[in-house]
Chain A
Amino acid sequence: MDDVVVTSRIRLARNLSDVPFTIKMNDYDAGLVIERVRDVISKNKQYKFDFYEIKKLPFLKRQVLIEKHLISPALVSAKIKSAVAIDQNENISIMINEEDHLRIQVLYRGQNIQRAWEDANRIDDFLEGHLPYAYDETWGYLTSCPTNVGTGLRASFMLHLPALTLLGYMKEIIETITKLGIAVRGFYGEGSEVVGNLYQISNQITLGQPEEDIIANVVSITNQIIEQERQARLKLLSENRSFIEDKVYRSYGILKYARNISSNEALKLISDVRMGISMGIIKEVTIDKIDVLLNLIQPAMIQDYFGREMTPEERDIKRAELIRKILD
């Protein structure tokens, strides 16, 4: 589908004015907020949401939702009652009692930030019509953490940057864009590691700029990175063709024939193959198929796919089996 942008995501942080914020909340308040929001969401005619209370979900299901990036690890580790509403297409999730009372998140595959913003904005308007938002004329949307105040907006892209990484350009790029108010994170957001050459980039400033400008800034920097990644891929292909072909085909070979594979190894190999497809080296697999794999190989997703809990050893075997099946 998209050679560099894996997903586009918009997140809005919102709070209610008549309840303490999550740090000062007790379980009773938390339960009330959940019920109020659940009630409002059920009135929405446009989207159909499924509602989950996190503490009532089995461990595996929670992990699946994290791996699908529909909820954050912080929502699961919240000390108070928390919940999430997820639309049936699994693009929109409304987290309740994460760091803020409400976290509206819209996630699409590929380069789709505008659409994500439109959805998030529409849902925000709807919720605002029924709930007393904490908002201040000067400071905008009041958030739990001062780093989100103002728009409460985080616009982010998950980028696949194997060539820039391979050529050793990433350190410099990260240093440069950090100075431009852009944060770079790993696969699961804040504090997580970069695996499979997947980088999450997002705006850091939320106050003093209109939403459209914030998004436009992230988009423009993203576009420059995309361009550099494409140039880097061309450079690799023209200067190191046999090295790259060997690397890509070796990874493809392992994926196709391995009998036991960890999620980290799989991610690294999938990254090579994904790059190989975009370079025209591998033609028998599509990026779409590879992106499906990218999701499915994660620990909880594997168990969810086979419908039962497994030991890590068993998972590695089943992972290899699933990869072979999908690549066949």
Chain B
Amino acid sequence: MMCENCGKRPATVHYTQIINGVKTEMHLCEVCAKQKGTIEFDAPFSVTNFLAGILEPAFGPQMIKPSFEMQITCRGCGMTFEEFKRSGRFGCAMCYNSFSEKLYPIFRRIHGNTKHVGKIPTKMGENIAIKREIDKLKIELNIAIKNEEFERAAEIRDKIRELEKKLSRE
């Protein structure tokens, strides 16, 4: 087999990639493989495809008439939501806020979740930890009220107030 790039030398380097179950092969000679610098698995392409698949059912119909949709642009990097959809990549940390509303269905599709419950960086951590604790206590409070455990509910309410005071002091 000859190299697919130059057609001059025999192909000795063989790459295989599987995208959505479709197998694509690439056969290159040593020289052309070296010029390419490395094995290019073309990951961004596969992720884009993957994302497009995820996005279609949610946004498909609306996307056909883009004139009805306001173009959202990230204040941080200038990326548009269209551009994000095409590349499958965010342009900067602010994109998350800029596209905020549109991200919930996407994250739900990918992760089945829209809220991080894992590690909190220690530097910015304390406030977040307190807020998380308050959220948890509020759920407990509702349960206590539902079960008519009013003494316990009062206890929890005090704890929440105390934590909220701590937050506002920051």
Contacts and interface: CB of A to CB of B under 8 A. Distances in A.
B3 to A, nearest CB: 12
Interface string A184-201: 001011111100000000
Interface in A98-147: 99, 121, 124-125, 128-129, 133-147
Given A208-B114, A209-B113, A136 B30 contact: no
A23 B112 contact: no
A154 B141 CA distance: 35
The size class of the interface chain A forms with chain B is: 35 or more
B38 A142 contact: no
B145 interface: no
B117 A145 contact: no
A137 B131 contact: yes
Contacts, number: 162
Contacts of B93: 15-17, 21, 134, 136, 142
B16 A77 contact: no
B1 interface: no
Given A17-B93, A21-B90, A192-B16, A209 B122 contact: no
A198 to B, nearest CB: 14
Contacts of B96: 136, 139, 142
A20 B91 CA distance: 6
B18 A207 contact: no
Given A21-B92, A135-B124, A193-B18, A207 B107 contact: yes
B31 to A, nearest CB: 11
A74 B44 CA distance: 9
A102 to B, nearest CB: 13
Contacts of A129: 122-123
A58 to B, nearest CB: 11
Nearest to A71: B38
Contacts of A135: 121, 124
Contact of B89 (A128, A145, A205, A207): A145
B122 A125 contact: yes
Nearest to B116: A140
A97 interface: no
Main secondary structure of the interface of B (DSSP, over half): loop
Contacts of B41: 73-74, 188-192
Nearest to B127: A137
Interface of A: 15-17, 19-24, 59, 62-63, 66, 73-74, 76-77, 99, 121, 124-125, 128-129, 133-147, 149-151, 153, 186, 188-193, 205-211, 214, 311-312
Interface in B107-158: 107, 110-119, 121-124, 128, 131
Given A20-B91, A125-B122, A146 B106 contact: yes
Interface in B64-103: 76-79, 87-93, 95-97, 103
20 contacts: A17-B93, A20-B76, A21-B90, A63-B38, A77-B39, A129-B122, A133-B121, A133-B123, A137-B131, A139-B107, A141-B116, A146-B90, A149-B116, A192-B16, A192-B17, A193-B18, A205-B110, A205-B112, A209-B113, A210-B119
Contact of A208 (B78, B87, B91, B117): B117
B111 A208 contact: yes
A296 B111 CA distance: 38
B170 interface: no
Interface in B13-66: 13, 16-19, 30, 34, 37-43, 46-47, 50-51
A235 B60 CA distance: 50
B40 A73 contact: yes
B5 interface: no
A146 B107 contact: yes
A151 B118 contact: yes
A208 B90 contact: no
Contact of B121 (A128, A146, A211): A128
B68 to A, nearest CB: 24
A144 B89 contact: yes
Contact of A149 (B51, B107, B119, B131): B107
A62 B37 CA distance: 9
B47 A145 contact: yes
Given A21-B95, A138-B116, A210-B117, 9 more contacts: A66-B38, A76-B38, A125-B122, A128-B121, A128-B122, A133-B123, A138-B114, A189-B41, A207-B111
